[in-house]
Amino acid sequence: MSFKGTITKDGERYFVSINPATLESIGELRIMNGDEISRAVERADKAFPVWSGISLEDRAAYLNAVKDQIIKNFDAIAEIVSREMGKPRIEAVIAEIMVAVDLIDYFVKRSSSLLADEPIPMHLAKVIKSSKLTYRPYGPVAVISPWNYPFAIPMGSIIMALLAGNTVLFKPASDAIFIGKKIEELFNAVNLPDGVFNFIAAPGSAVGKSLIGPKIRKIVFTGSVQVGKQVMEAASKYLIPVVLELGGKDPMIVCKDANIELAANGAVWGAFTNAGQVCASVERVYVMKEVAEEFTKKVVEKTQKLRIGRDTDFNVEVGPMVNEGQLHIVEDHIADARQKGAVILTGGERLKEFRGFFFPPTVLTGVSHSMKCMTEETFGPLLPIMVVKDEKEAVEFANDTIYGLTASVWTKDREKGEALARQINAGTVTINEHAYTYGLPETPWGGIKDSGMGRTHSKIGFMEMVVPYHINMDHFPDSLNSRPWFYPYSREKYELFKGLISAFGTGAGAKIKNLAYSAKLLLSSKTRKKIF
């Protein structure tokens, strides 16, 4: 078996999963039909009042139990992530398991304060009115996750959704179906109430047909721009709010005063971690001409030292690509760049000595924005390096994209680094680092333009899981049976509001005069009767 896809047996459809490093079968999993998905949505809807009605402390206890299950099953999780995705187990630990455990711990400890009622400071009406925001969960939330980080990405949204009081329907990527199944096992192990967590084993085509409907109240989707737009279109039929974390073409700017050794190490890791299959990969580098030769030489040397292969003894840095289709995109981008004059410094051709979907980390120079590798998301182990004359030109090129997820600036001058960061159109800009902030639960993650909308992680991401409700309280004396804006209208009311509005004008004298006039109207028993 040398493919990932579906088969039909005895009238039932099954997902087929393979290890992309060996092309050996991992197994088959039956695909749910439309009726089964609809019943899962019904269960989530029915469970919502029960789950949202229990105390936050009880919900937190369940999720702490999930955290303990992750730790208990640490090796098994790392193994299935490595087998189904082909990634080194160390990457499964650092970028998947650790991210999930830390996020659970972080939000469980802070959810009470995040969900507490929030007073709204009043200005004009602070004596007679008070307001507060209170937060309530949406209802059933659909979490649709990708294959590149198939454990950490869905776990983050699932945990925040459940903690806030929502129920969840979790549909993993077809290429990561057994990792999704492992997540289901973790939640089943803590005996959540029926219908709170629902695993959906279905292809992407089922999302619009069976999953997205009027009982889904929020969607969190991570994946490609094309599919993200389809999800948004399907959601629009029912006015379902969405969080979309889509693609990226993330730039790295290397200033002439950068620590070149650090920048080269950052570029190699940022471009080739997870075989480059990261929405926040270093997908293009803009390096100042003064340091371009030194930087490029170091990048090539470090790239050529990377160990490629199947992780058997924690002895590789770069694994295979997840599927053959993604590998062909890398080949297409390289062929396009070569045809237009780019130079391949290392890599460039599929590794024939491996049985799996291996492609070597590849470094290109002589690139331009006429090439796909500089404008379209590659999502593979490809690092194009472009020489620029100055930082202004670098920022212009960095912003010349339909994407806006992350970016990085490399300089020893942190003040300059921040100034450049403020000019780059991206959801996150790091200085002397790249991509790692997804592992920080307190920082927001998300992009602009075709990189999506909304945020995950951080307080902002957590509040995506709740609806703000406004409560306003009246503080007029109980003896007053009316309000100045109630009927009937009168000349006195007109004069009162004219004086109050005029008090907003500039000039202390006019302000005092108009406030005094309004106060006189309110204090006069004759006019007060016509105002109240």
Report the catalytic residues.
Answer: 245, 279
Looking at the chain, the number of H-run helices and the number of E-run strands are 19, 19
- In angstroms, the CA 372 to CA 393 distance is 20
The secondary structure element, H or E, covering residue 243 is strand 242-245
Q: How many CB atoms lie within 10 A of CB 10?
A: 5
| Those residues with Cβ within 8 angstroms of residue 182's Cβ, 6 or more apart along the chain or in another chain | 73, 76, 77, 80, 151
CA distance 123 to 236: 37
The span from the CA of 170 to the CA of 161, in Å, is 11
| CB distance 32 to 202 below 8 Å | yes
Residue 294 burial (CB count, 10 A): 14
Spatial contact of 85 and 150, defined as CB atoms under 8 Å apart: yes
Cβ 518 vs Cβ 503: under 8 Å: yes
- CA-closest candidate to residue 212, choices 143, 158, 267, 270: 143
CA gap 290, 389 in Å, rounded: 8
CA gap 168, 137 in Å, rounded: 11
* Cα–Cα distance for residue pair 397/374, rounded to 1 Å: 10
Beta strands in 89-226 (DSSP E): 118-120, 129-137, 140-144, 167-171, 197-199, 218-222
Strand partners, 364: 344, 384
Q: Label residue 427 exposed, middle or buried (CB < 10 Å: 0-12, 13-18, 19+).
A: buried
Phi, psi torsion values for 255, nearest 5 degrees: -80, 165
Contact 155, 100 (CB under 8 A): yes
| β-pair partners for 453 | 244
